Structure 1
Amino acid sequence: MLARWPDAVGVVLDSSPYAARRAARAHERAVAVVADSWARLPVLDGVVDRVLVVFAPRNGLEIARVLRPDGRLVVVTPAAEHLRELVGPLGLLRVDPDKAARLAASLEPHLQPVRARTHRWPLSLSRAAAATLIGMGPHARHTTPAAVDAGLAAMPERIEVTAAVDVAVYRRRPATAT
């Protein structure tokens, strides 16, 4: 994103010190802060142009507070068919069919939807890459590496997988007169 906007500075918030250190080295105009997204964000009111949340918790009230009046929140969540070729055979977590409604309910008191799209693309993964991908997300907390390795051993060395994400864009709700 920073390559697209040459005058922008990126601020990465993560609860993991390791992830924050890595993010700080990702781009010369990126800084990272170890922070809890459910607490008050360490950003002034109304100064942020874009907030990007990828497969992570979203605090609608805080995001609305830090967004500029013309700012946008971009939320990326897994779509129902995300990694379906791995989910079924390995008994991994399925995406909650009510995920979009829960997202809207949590954000829409503070933000209003602008648009939403689903993006899909094929991935060709080695077993090792598939294991790494599984280990990066919530699946890792609901299975064991041994179970993943055993399931992947029964699959071909190259696994064709569907990546599918929903991308929803929100803006601040206009202030209402009292």
Structure 2
Amino acid sequence: GKKVLIIAADTFRAAAVEQLEIWAKRVGASIVKPATNEKDPGSVVFRGLDFAIKEKMDLVLIDTAGRLQNNVNLMQELAKINKIISQKIPDGPHESLLVIDATTGQNGVSQAEIFTKATPISGIILTKMDGTSKGGIVFSIKDQLNISVKLVGLGEGMDDLQPFDLDLFIFAITKGLKNQYQI
């Protein structure tokens, strides 16, 4: 029963907006997407937040471009988006989640560290946990930056984004060790 808006602010990847349109339809959410030839993600976010305020949306999800932490321009853009949000929404953003691929490895720590300089990160979404990936990098991120995993991606279906379950995660990481180390 909530009014949900998705702001498609990934102006770099051609298929990103189309994918979000499909998901918005599936889940019954509204969507604000870039206008024709609109390349500035900040403009899309600004327009989207105006729409959210006008339409009294309960929840706003903003999808931005995937970023490499060594791309200074994209990181500055993320800081700009964060500034727009905080100007439009009191105490915003209320949640800022970093998506980390479970196959990332040790690079995930530096990625999270640099992202926290551009915007406050309130949690992690750990994706690709449906394969053989273990995602152990989250222990280092938690230890060094105190950022917890909030959600895990177990596939690409509507119900495949699940709340993080530490016991299940530890079991998945350690299963097979007992047999591996028996003499």
Q: Same-fold call, TM > 0.5?
A: no
Q: TM-score category by the smaller chain? A: 0.3 to 0.5
> Greater strand percent: which structure?
1
Length-normalised TM-score, structure 1:
0.44
